Amino acid sequence: MNSPTRIPVKDLSLDLERDVFLRSLIRELAGTLQDVIGLEEAAGFVSVVGQRIGDQLNQSYRQAIGTETLSRSQVAEVLVDLKRRIKGDFFIIEESDDRLVFGNRACPFAEKVIGRPSMCMMTSNVFGVITAENTGYARVELKETIAEGAPGCRVVVNLKPVDEDRLTDGREYFAG
């Protein structure tokens, strides 16, 4: 009996490389947290990581641009650029004194984000930290997300506090 030709393991066709592995790792970590401690608490843990990443990115962009504080327009450009660099497809829908509104056609986590809304706290915190550290305040609202089944994301970054009775979902960020 003839045995089938054996393909060396190193030549197998597998969808496995560092990016896929790390996105899968983050997906499973977020999913485990959501299952064990709940969505809100899982989002809290991801928020802590997002805060630290936001601080690092803010410093990196400020140094690269050569300024101590980014203008509102620079903040908007930076947020789009950082997402572009990590394979997101964010774009500015609106920029005013009151808010920045972003759309997105591709999540940096790709398909790994589906069903893991806690992973969206990375966007909320990175956007919130960078905006607040440069403008003094931010309230980030994740209006639509790919994680929750939308075809894209819609993220509103409010630059000024609103009255309590007009307050909607979102997380507030203040300059540290």
Strand 153-158 and strand 99-104: the pairing is antiparallel
Which letter does DSSP use for residue 51 in this model?
H
Q: Is the C-alpha dihedral spanning 72, 62, 92, 162 positive or negative?
A: negative
pLDDT of residue 1: 58
Name the stretches of the chain with pLDDT < 50.
Answer: none
pLDDT of residue 133: 98
For 149, list phi and psi in degrees, rounded to 5: 100, 0
pLDDT of residue 3: 65
CATH number of the domain at 16-174, out of 3.20.20.70, 3.30.460.80, 3.30.1380.20, 3.40.50.300? 3.30.1380.20
Q: Is 158 helix (H, G, I), strand (E, B) or coil?
A: strand
pLDDT of residue 16: 87
pLDDT of residue 166: 59
pLDDT of residue 138: 97
CA–CA distance, 90 with 118 (Å, rounded to integer):
19
Mean pLDDT of the chain: 93
CA–CA distance, 134 with 128 (Å, rounded to integer):
10
